[in-house]
């Protein structure tokens, strides 16, 4: 579904991503983990069209999308929940969700999706007419995910879903993501913390200083410390 090859992104002279290769197959839940400054957010921003790569390719369902404007990409089935959630604080919950639905041409189906999503995230129904800025952090994360889901994406990218949330709330967010993945939605999740990655991931990439230092299936990483070692830079290995 998503095929990133030899992707290099620079901020001026600083190389944020260096020849990165990442593949996501349909139905997978792929995690990219790494310490601060590894290039994780840069990766998602580049895929979603907010940054232009210096070189390399980003293939999505067979077509090259490198440098395509973000408003065009979401129509092709890519959705991003960025770091910090970025809900529209002055808009109501309803209006936030409406903005998410605006690219949908099938308005009747979009309304049904809204109903279904409000069942998945009942707190949003309770706060439907309230201003989104008054939601708690966990509720805002749910709103950001719900808003992205209303676009009916085929690939949902989430930047640090657990950032700044209480442990109990992180459990809820991960449970929601697990359900969505089980229902067939492909996920590409970026996390700084490795704590809960293996609960959900089917495949993990470890990114350090803009380079992929480890990629393996979650199954293979479940035993041993390979992920932690790669994360902290004790060792580096590449495997399929």
Partner 1 sequence: MRNFLQVMVDAIALGSLLALVALAIGLVFGVMRLINFAQGDYITIGAYALVVPAASLTPTLLIGALPIPLMVAGVLLVVVMLALATERVAFRPLRDSDPATLLISSFAVSYFLQHMIMLVHTGRPKSIGIGQALTTPIEVLGLRVPGIQVVTMGVTAVLLIALVLFLKRTPMGIQMRAAAENFQMARLLGVPANRVIAMAFVISGLLGGTVSLLLIVQTGTLDIRMGLMPVIFAFFATVIGGMGSLVGAALGGFLVGVSSVLLQSYLPEGLRPFRDAFVFGLVIVILLVRPKGLIVIGAARERV
Q: Could you give the 3-state DSSP secondary structure of residue 38?
A: coil
How near is the Cβ of 82 to partner 1 at its closest, in Å?
A: 7
CB-nearer residue toward partner 1: 99 or 198: 99
Q: 125 to each of 7, 17, 60, 87, 133, how far by Cα in Å?
A: 41, 40, 33, 16, 15
How near is the Cβ of 99 to partner 1 at its closest, in Å?
A: 5
| Cα(233)–Cα(230) distance, integer angstroms | 5
CB-nearer residue toward partner 1: 114 or 230: 114
How near is the Cβ of 141 to partner 1 at its closest, in Å?
A: 10
How near is the Cβ of 186 to partner 1 at its closest, in Å?
A: 18
How near is the Cβ of 74 to partner 1 at its closest, in Å?
A: 4
CB-nearer residue toward partner 1: 59 or 84: 84
Nearest-Å Rg of the Cα atoms of the chain is 18
Q: 225 to each of 220, 221, 231, 239, how far by Cα in Å?
A: 10, 7, 10, 15
CB-nearer residue toward partner 1: 170 or 221: 170
CB-nearer residue toward partner 1: 47 or 207: 47
Q: Pairing mode, if any, of strands 55-60 and 2-11?
A: antiparallel
Neighbouring-strand partners of residue 17: 9
Residues that bind partner 1 (CB under 8 A): 48, 50, 69-71, 74-75, 79-80, 82, 86, 88-91, 95-96, 98-100, 102-103, 133-138, 140, 147-148, 151, 164-166, 169
């Amino acid at each position: 579904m998503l095929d990133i090859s030899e992707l290099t992104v620079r901020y001026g002279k600083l190389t944020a991503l260096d020849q990165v290769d990442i593949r996501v197959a349909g139905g997978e839940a792929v995690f990219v983990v790494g310490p601060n400054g590894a290039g994780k957010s840069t990766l998602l921003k580049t895929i979603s069209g907010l940054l232009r790569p210096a070189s390399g390719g980003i293939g999505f369902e067979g077509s090259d999308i490198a440098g395509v404007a973000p408003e065009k990409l979401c129509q092709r089935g890519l959705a991003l929940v960025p770091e910090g959630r970025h809900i529209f604080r002055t808009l109501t919950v309803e209006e936030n969700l409406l903005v998410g639905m605006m690219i949908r041409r099938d308005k009747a189906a979009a309304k049904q999706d809204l109903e279904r999503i409000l069942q998945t995230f009942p707190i949003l129904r309770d706060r439907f007419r309230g201003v989104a800025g008054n939601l708690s952090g966990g509720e805002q994360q749910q709103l950001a995910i719900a808003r992205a889901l209303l676009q009916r994406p085929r690939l949902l990218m989430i930047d640090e879903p657990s950032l700044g949330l209480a442990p109990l709330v992180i459990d809820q967010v991960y449970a929601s993501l697990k359900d969505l993945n089980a229902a067939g939605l492909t996920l590409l999740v970026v996390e700084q913390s490795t704590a809960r990655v293996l609960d959900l991931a089917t495949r993990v990439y470890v990114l350090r200083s803009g380079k992929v230092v480890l990629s393996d299936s979650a199954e293979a990483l479940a035993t041993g410390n390979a992920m932690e070692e790669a994360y902290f830079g004790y060792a580096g290995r590449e495997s399929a």
